[in-house]
A and B are shown apart, each in its own frame.
Chain A
Amino acid sequence: MNPIFNQGTSPAHRLILVLCCSAALIFFDHKMASFETARGYLQSLVSPLQYMANAPKQMMNWAAENIVIRQQLMKENQIFRENELFYHEQAMQLSMVRQENERLRSLLSSPVRGEINKMFAEIISVYSDPYSHQVVINRGTNDGVYEGQAVLDEKGIVGQILHVGASSSRVILITDISHAIPVRIQRNGLRLIASGSGQIDRLIHNFVPHSADVKVGDLLVTSGLGGKYPEGYPVARVVLVRADESREFATIYSKPVAQIDRLRYMLLLSKEPSKEQSVKGANLPKSKQASAGKS
């Protein structure tokens, strides 16, 4: 029989103890960011839980992918074949343009651009904090993921790596309220900063003067400033420009081009130029296959 009156420390003392611990944790994690390495280990510790939680969905996906009718597959195949032809043609063009670009760059004696390493990743669609926009992916330090790596889907930039575990890592999305990304307008090269708004379909551009040449429909691409994101990947499209003269700056909103609400497969870009891939453009399709084959 257990005693009705508990011995040991009273609940109030315990509460004070844990509240002090929480306050210290919040302070050191948020203000000092002193848990960056510890978070990596914690992420590796909990990744089995995440994989297990994701298992039912994985099974459903597997079942759904296995139970397709032949006609559907044939149709998809047809579309893929057409796409491949299309992209192949573009790759051929690209190789020519790239050689030309290199020649011009060497004429101007500016450094030749290196290749960008790519890695394929799949989302582990576990639930995350509703106050921040993050997703978990199935790659970690074992695969060579590092913090700050750029992540994109087939349409455009998705975000960057926030915490890396051994076999899974966390991606912060560009729409998160604490995230900002340097962009430029593709049309005229005007530089802006796209800050997340906490809404999945909106980025905010602060401190843009009224005189800036921004139009609805402009495509924003990464500018490569800041060094986190490689240059030239599409980020967002401007959806609203309001020039209210009573305000100090123009109000500009844009919508991410990546399908942030239906992510599944993603590419991780790493900055170091790869040694094994020569600079000749002709092997672009090959390198694509190689990166897809890694998965």
Chain B
Amino acid sequence: MFSNNGFIILLTLLIALMASITPMPLSVDAFRPDWVLIVLVYWCLALPNKVNIITAWVMGFILDVLLGSVLGVHACAMALSVYIVVVNFQKIRNFSVWQQALIIGVLSAQYHLVVFWLQRFLSDVVFLPNYLYPVITTIVLWPWVFLLLRRVRRHFRIK
């Protein structure tokens, strides 16, 4: 993972982890995009030989520790979402950025629903529609993150 400037991947993932816990005003807090998922999906599409399900699971695990949820919940959801990307990366690569954004939206929705389902299984939480608000911001954010990370990848020649 660390050959050919691979540590940049790790750096982007760390920044994504930080972005997913930075404090935000209460009004926009519910719209926090899934930074870690977006960045993971990008690297899975671009370099599937470097970033795979295990990476996703480890990132989900760290997210569990950071968010204070039951260990394994976010890890499981993240691995499931990234699995879909890993299996279909050649198809998804050929879509336009906006089509990709919609796919990311579906993945993000799946991620949140799996997290909710597991939490529901563990303790009696009730479903609120604002658990799915991040899907919207994730869709909007994808093209920008895609362009930025592609630029990063080409600049540092990460292979």
Give A residues with C-beta under 8 Å from B: 2, 4, 6, 11-12, 14-15, 17-19, 21-26, 29-30, 35, 39, 42-43, 45-46, 49-50, 52-54, 56-57, 125-132, 134, 136, 162-163, 170, 177-178, 198, 261
* Contact call B72/A21, Cβ cutoff below 8 A: yes
The minimal Cβ–Cβ distance linking A235 to chain B, given in whole angstroms, is 22
Number of interface residues of B (CB under 8 A): 50
Chain B residue contacts of A19, Cβ below 8 A: 76, 79-80
Q: Which residue, A29, A45, A57, has most C-beta atoms of chain B within 10 A? A: A29
Is A49 touching B83 in the complex (CB atoms < 8 A)?
no
Contacts of B61 in A (CB 8 A): 25
How distant is B139 from chain A, measured CB to nearest CB, in Å?
A: 19
Given contacts A49-B17, A52-B18, A198 and B67 within 8 Å (CB-CB) = no
Q: Are B68 and A132 in contact (CB under 8 A)?
A: yes
**B22 and A11 contacting across the interface, CB-CB below 8 Å:** no
Which residues from chain B contact A56 at a C-beta distance below 8 Å? 22
B120 to A: closest C-beta gap in Å: 9
Could you pull out 7 A-B pairs where Cβ atoms are within 8 angstroms?
A18-B57, A22-B73, A42-B65, A49-B17, A126-B23, A134-B68, A163-B68
Within the complex, what minimum Cβ distance (angstroms) separates A53 from chain B? 5
Contact with A along B24-65 (1 / 0, CB 8 A): 101001101000000000000000110011101100011001
Is A11 a contact of B125 with CB atoms below 8 Å?
no
Give the residues in chain A near B56, CB-CB below 8 Å. Answer: 18
List residues of chain B with CB within 8 A of the CB of A54. 22-23
Cβ-defined contact, A26 with B122, below 8 A: yes
Is B52 a contact of A14 with CB atoms below 8 Å?
yes
**Which residues between 2 and 36 of chain B lie within 8 Å of chain A, taking CB atoms?**
14, 17-24, 26, 29-30, 32
Residues of B within 8 A of A126 (CB): 21-23, 66
Does the CB pair B125–A198 fall under 8 Å? yes
Question: Quick check: is B123 within 8 A (CB to CB) of the other chain?
Answer: yes
A15 contacts B67, C-beta separation under 8 Å? no
New contact pairs (8) apart from A18-B56, A25-B75, CB-CB < 8 Å:
A14-B53, A23-B76, A24-B72, A25-B61, A39-B71, A125-B23, A127-B21, A131-B69
